[in-house]
Chain A
Amino acid sequence: MVLLNSMDELLSHIKEVQQDVIQLSSESLLMISNFIEKNGLEVDNDVATALQYQDIISQQLNATIEAINSVQSSMDRFSHSYQMDENLVVESMKKFQDKLSVVLCEAKDKKSRFSGKFANGDAQTDEIEFF
Protein backbone atom coordinates (compact mmCIF):
# COMPACT_ATOMS: atom_id res chain seq x y z
CA MET A 1 0.00 0.00 0.00
CA VAL A 2 3.01 2.26 0.39
CA LEU A 3 3.41 2.03 -3.37
CA LEU A 4 -0.19 3.20 -3.90
CA ASN A 5 0.31 6.05 -1.47
CA SER A 6 3.38 7.20 -3.40
CA MET A 7 1.47 6.97 -6.67
CA ASP A 8 -1.38 8.95 -5.16
CA GLU A 9 1.02 11.67 -4.05
CA LEU A 10 2.64 11.77 -7.47
CA LEU A 11 -0.74 12.04 -9.20
CA SER A 12 -1.77 14.85 -6.84
CA HIS A 13 1.44 16.65 -7.69
CA ILE A 14 0.80 16.28 -11.44
CA LYS A 15 -2.71 17.69 -10.97
CA GLU A 16 -1.34 20.68 -9.08
CA VAL A 17 1.17 21.40 -11.84
CA GLN A 18 -1.56 21.13 -14.46
CA GLN A 19 -3.84 23.47 -12.52
CA ASP A 20 -1.00 25.98 -12.22
CA VAL A 21 -0.36 25.77 -15.96
CA ILE A 22 -4.06 26.39 -16.68
CA GLN A 23 -4.14 29.39 -14.36
CA LEU A 24 -0.86 30.92 -15.55
CA SER A 25 -1.67 30.50 -19.23
CA SER A 26 -5.10 32.02 -18.63
CA GLU A 27 -3.68 35.01 -16.75
CA SER A 28 -1.03 35.47 -19.42
CA LEU A 29 -3.57 35.44 -22.23
CA LEU A 30 -5.93 37.81 -20.42
CA MET A 31 -3.08 40.27 -19.88
CA ILE A 32 -2.23 40.17 -23.58
CA SER A 33 -5.86 40.55 -24.66
CA ASN A 34 -6.41 43.41 -22.18
CA PHE A 35 -3.37 45.16 -23.65
CA ILE A 36 -4.69 44.67 -27.18
CA GLU A 37 -8.15 45.95 -26.24
CA LYS A 38 -6.89 48.88 -24.15
CA ASN A 39 -4.67 50.09 -26.96
CA GLY A 40 -7.27 49.49 -29.66
CA LEU A 41 -4.89 47.23 -31.57
CA GLU A 42 -6.23 45.22 -34.44
CA VAL A 43 -5.18 41.57 -34.54
CA ASP A 44 -4.95 39.58 -37.74
CA ASN A 45 -6.51 36.15 -38.25
CA ASP A 46 -3.38 34.25 -37.21
CA VAL A 47 -3.02 36.11 -33.91
CA ALA A 48 -6.73 35.86 -33.16
CA THR A 49 -6.54 32.11 -33.76
CA ALA A 50 -3.38 31.74 -31.67
CA LEU A 51 -5.05 33.54 -28.77
CA GLN A 52 -7.68 30.80 -28.69
CA TYR A 53 -5.19 28.01 -28.10
CA GLN A 54 -5.24 28.59 -24.33
CA ASP A 55 -8.90 27.54 -24.22
CA ILE A 56 -8.06 24.24 -25.94
CA ILE A 57 -4.99 23.70 -23.73
CA SER A 58 -7.01 24.23 -20.56
CA GLN A 59 -9.83 21.92 -21.72
CA GLN A 60 -7.28 19.20 -22.54
CA LEU A 61 -5.56 19.56 -19.17
CA ASN A 62 -8.88 19.64 -17.31
CA ALA A 63 -9.84 16.38 -19.02
CA THR A 64 -6.63 14.74 -17.81
CA ILE A 65 -7.24 16.12 -14.30
CA GLU A 66 -10.65 14.43 -14.37
CA ALA A 67 -8.98 11.18 -15.44
CA ILE A 68 -6.48 11.45 -12.57
CA ASN A 69 -9.35 12.07 -10.13
CA SER A 70 -11.03 8.87 -11.34
CA VAL A 71 -7.81 6.88 -10.98
CA GLN A 72 -7.23 8.23 -7.47
CA SER A 73 -10.75 7.37 -6.49
CA SER A 74 -10.30 3.79 -7.79
CA MET A 75 -6.97 3.48 -6.00
CA ASP A 76 -8.64 4.61 -2.82
CA ARG A 77 -11.40 2.00 -3.17
CA PHE A 78 -8.86 -0.72 -3.95
CA SER A 79 -6.74 0.24 -0.97
CA HIS A 80 -9.80 0.24 1.28
CA SER A 81 -10.93 -3.24 0.10
CA TYR A 82 -7.43 -4.60 0.52
CA GLN A 83 -7.25 -3.39 4.08
CA MET A 84 -10.68 -4.79 4.91
CA ASP A 85 -10.06 -8.28 3.58
CA GLU A 86 -6.90 -9.48 1.89
CA ASN A 87 -8.86 -12.34 0.31
CA LEU A 88 -10.65 -9.80 -1.82
CA VAL A 89 -7.43 -8.54 -3.31
CA VAL A 90 -7.68 -10.47 -6.60
CA GLU A 91 -11.23 -9.34 -7.19
CA SER A 92 -10.36 -5.77 -6.21
CA MET A 93 -7.34 -5.78 -8.48
CA LYS A 94 -9.52 -6.91 -11.38
CA LYS A 95 -12.02 -4.11 -10.70
CA PHE A 96 -9.19 -1.62 -10.41
CA GLN A 97 -7.73 -2.75 -13.72
CA ASP A 98 -11.12 -2.54 -15.45
CA LYS A 99 -11.66 0.95 -14.09
CA LEU A 100 -8.24 2.05 -15.36
CA SER A 101 -9.15 0.82 -18.85
CA VAL A 102 -12.40 2.76 -18.76
CA VAL A 103 -10.63 5.92 -17.55
CA LEU A 104 -8.04 5.61 -20.31
CA CYS A 105 -10.74 5.20 -22.99
CA GLU A 106 -12.66 8.20 -21.68
CA ALA A 107 -9.51 10.31 -21.49
CA LYS A 108 -8.53 9.43 -25.07
CA ASP A 109 -12.06 10.20 -26.26
CA LYS A 110 -11.95 13.60 -24.56
CA LYS A 111 -8.53 14.34 -26.07
CA SER A 112 -10.03 13.83 -29.49
CA ARG A 113 -13.32 15.61 -28.74
CA PHE A 114 -11.75 18.69 -27.14
CA SER A 115 -9.14 19.24 -29.81
CA GLY A 116 -11.42 21.26 -32.04
CA LYS A 117 -9.91 21.68 -35.49
CA PHE A 118 -6.79 19.83 -34.39
CA ALA A 119 -8.65 16.57 -33.78
CA ASN A 120 -6.71 13.53 -35.04
CA GLY A 121 -4.06 15.78 -36.54
CA ASP A 122 -6.34 16.66 -39.43
CA ALA A 123 -6.37 20.21 -40.63
CA GLN A 124 -10.09 20.87 -40.70
CA THR A 125 -11.90 23.43 -42.73
CA ASP A 126 -12.72 26.89 -41.45
CA GLU A 127 -16.23 26.57 -42.84
CA ILE A 128 -19.00 27.13 -40.33
CA GLU A 129 -21.64 24.44 -40.49
CA PHE A 130 -25.13 25.91 -40.80
CA PHE A 131 -28.11 23.67 -40.20
Chain B
Amino acid sequence: MPLVIFVDDSETALASTRMVTNSMPIEVKQYTEAQVALAEIKAGMTPDLIITDLNMPVMNGLEFLQALRAHPSTSRTPCLMLTTETKVELKEQGKALGLTGWIVKPFNPAQLKQAITRVLRLPA
Protein backbone atom coordinates (compact mmCIF):
# COMPACT_ATOMS: atom_id res chain seq x y z
CA MET B 1 0.00 0.00 0.00
CA PRO B 2 1.26 3.51 -0.76
CA LEU B 3 2.59 5.39 2.23
CA VAL B 4 1.10 8.82 2.93
CA ILE B 5 2.58 10.96 5.69
CA PHE B 6 0.74 13.81 7.38
CA VAL B 7 2.63 16.53 9.25
CA ASP B 8 0.69 18.96 11.43
CA ASP B 9 1.51 20.40 14.85
CA SER B 10 -2.19 20.19 15.73
CA GLU B 11 -3.20 16.76 17.02
CA THR B 12 -6.83 17.62 16.40
CA ALA B 13 -6.06 18.36 12.74
CA LEU B 14 -4.31 15.00 12.47
CA ALA B 15 -7.32 13.29 14.07
CA SER B 16 -9.57 14.91 11.44
CA THR B 17 -7.43 13.63 8.58
CA ARG B 18 -7.34 10.12 10.14
CA MET B 19 -11.11 9.96 10.00
CA VAL B 20 -10.98 10.66 6.27
CA THR B 21 -8.14 8.31 5.36
CA ASN B 22 -8.91 5.27 7.51
CA SER B 23 -11.17 3.82 4.84
CA MET B 24 -8.65 4.33 2.04
CA PRO B 25 -6.23 1.69 0.70
CA ILE B 26 -3.19 3.55 1.97
CA GLU B 27 -0.74 3.32 4.86
CA VAL B 28 -0.72 6.50 6.95
CA LYS B 29 1.92 7.89 9.28
CA GLN B 30 1.37 11.09 11.21
CA TYR B 31 3.85 13.52 12.72
CA THR B 32 3.38 16.62 14.87
CA GLU B 33 6.90 17.86 14.03
CA ALA B 34 8.30 18.22 10.51
CA GLN B 35 11.87 17.67 11.70
CA VAL B 36 10.91 14.23 13.08
CA ALA B 37 9.33 13.22 9.76
CA LEU B 38 12.41 14.50 7.95
CA ALA B 39 14.71 12.48 10.21
CA GLU B 40 12.74 9.31 9.40
CA ILE B 41 12.95 10.08 5.69
CA LYS B 42 16.69 10.54 5.99
CA ALA B 43 16.80 7.22 7.85
CA GLY B 44 15.17 5.47 4.89
CA MET B 45 11.39 6.02 4.97
CA THR B 46 10.08 6.59 1.45
CA PRO B 47 6.61 8.13 1.44
CA ASP B 48 4.56 8.17 -1.77
CA LEU B 49 2.74 11.36 -0.77
CA ILE B 50 3.46 14.02 1.85
CA ILE B 51 0.68 16.24 3.21
CA THR B 52 1.90 19.01 5.47
CA ASP B 53 0.64 22.00 7.41
CA LEU B 54 2.34 25.34 6.81
CA ASN B 55 2.45 27.17 10.16
CA MET B 56 4.37 24.98 12.55
CA PRO B 57 6.98 25.81 15.18
CA VAL B 58 10.65 24.88 14.67
CA MET B 59 10.27 23.91 10.98
CA ASN B 60 7.39 25.31 8.94
CA GLY B 61 5.81 23.64 5.93
CA LEU B 62 7.86 25.54 3.34
CA GLU B 63 11.14 24.86 5.15
CA PHE B 64 10.13 21.20 5.35
CA LEU B 65 9.35 21.17 1.63
CA GLN B 66 12.71 22.76 0.88
CA ALA B 67 14.48 20.08 2.94
CA LEU B 68 12.49 17.35 1.18
CA ARG B 69 13.47 18.68 -2.22
CA ALA B 70 17.13 18.70 -1.17
CA HIS B 71 16.98 15.02 -0.20
CA PRO B 72 17.44 12.52 -3.05
CA SER B 73 14.63 10.14 -2.05
CA THR B 74 11.98 12.88 -1.79
CA SER B 75 13.20 15.37 -4.37
CA ARG B 76 10.21 14.51 -6.58
CA THR B 77 7.72 13.09 -4.07
CA PRO B 78 4.28 14.70 -4.43
CA CYS B 79 3.53 17.15 -1.61
CA LEU B 80 0.28 18.86 -0.69
CA MET B 81 0.02 21.83 1.67
CA LEU B 82 -2.96 21.59 4.04
CA THR B 83 -3.29 24.92 5.80
CA THR B 84 -5.46 27.81 6.96
CA GLU B 85 -3.16 30.16 5.00
CA THR B 86 -4.56 31.70 1.85
CA LYS B 87 -1.76 34.15 0.97
CA VAL B 88 -0.93 34.11 -2.72
CA GLU B 89 2.79 34.81 -2.08
CA LEU B 90 3.07 31.71 0.10
CA LYS B 91 1.37 29.61 -2.56
CA GLU B 92 3.85 30.95 -5.10
CA GLN B 93 6.76 30.02 -2.81
CA GLY B 94 5.34 26.52 -2.51
CA LYS B 95 4.85 26.26 -6.24
CA ALA B 96 8.47 27.29 -6.84
CA LEU B 97 9.55 24.48 -4.53
CA GLY B 98 7.58 21.96 -6.56
CA LEU B 99 4.49 21.75 -4.38
CA THR B 100 1.77 19.60 -5.96
CA GLY B 101 -1.24 21.44 -4.56
CA TRP B 102 -2.76 23.66 -1.88
CA ILE B 103 -5.70 22.69 0.30
CA VAL B 104 -7.34 25.30 2.53
CA LYS B 105 -8.69 24.26 5.94
CA PRO B 106 -11.24 23.26 6.91
CA PHE B 107 -10.92 20.71 4.12
CA ASN B 108 -13.84 18.98 2.53
CA PRO B 109 -13.33 15.28 3.33
CA ALA B 110 -14.53 14.10 -0.07
CA GLN B 111 -12.19 16.54 -1.80
CA LEU B 112 -9.22 15.41 0.30
CA LYS B 113 -9.96 11.78 -0.57
CA GLN B 114 -10.19 12.70 -4.25
CA ALA B 115 -6.90 14.59 -4.08
CA ILE B 116 -5.07 11.64 -2.52
CA THR B 117 -6.69 9.25 -5.01
CA ARG B 118 -5.68 11.50 -7.89
CA VAL B 119 -2.08 12.08 -6.81
CA LEU B 120 -1.46 8.40 -5.98
CA ARG B 121 -3.45 7.24 -9.03
CA LEU B 122 -5.53 4.92 -6.85
CA PRO B 123 -8.55 3.22 -8.37
CA ALA B 124 -11.50 5.62 -7.95
Q: Which residues of A contact B (CB under 8 A)?
A: 26, 29-30, 33-34, 36-37, 42-43, 45, 48-49, 51-56, 58-59, 113-117, 119, 124, 126-131
Contacts and interface: CB of A to CB of B under 8 A. Distances in A.
A42 B11 CA distance: 19
Contact of A52 (B55, B80, B94, B105): B105
Interface string B102-113: 111111111110
A48 B16 contact: yes
Given A49-B106, A127-B111, A129-B102, A55 B84 contact: yes
Contacts of B99: 131
A5 to B, nearest CB: 30
Interface of B: 8, 10-13, 15-16, 18-20, 22-23, 55, 80, 83-87, 91, 94-95, 99-112, 114-115
Main secondary structure of the interface of B (DSSP, over half): mixed
Contact of A45 (B86, B91, B108, B115): B108
B102 A116 contact: no
A66 to B, nearest CB: 11
B15 A117 contact: no
Contact of A37 (B18, B80, B84, B100): B18
A48 to B, nearest CB: 4
A82 to B, nearest CB: 34
19 contacts: A33-B12, A34-B15, A37-B22, A45-B110, A48-B109, A52-B12, A55-B10, A55-B106, A58-B10, A58-B12, A59-B84, A113-B87, A116-B105, A119-B86, A126-B108, A128-B111, A128-B114, A131-B94, A131-B102
Given A37-B18, A116-B106, 10 more contacts: A29-B15, A37-B22, A43-B109, A48-B20, A51-B12, A52-B13, A53-B106, A55-B13, A58-B10, A116-B86
B19 A117 contact: no
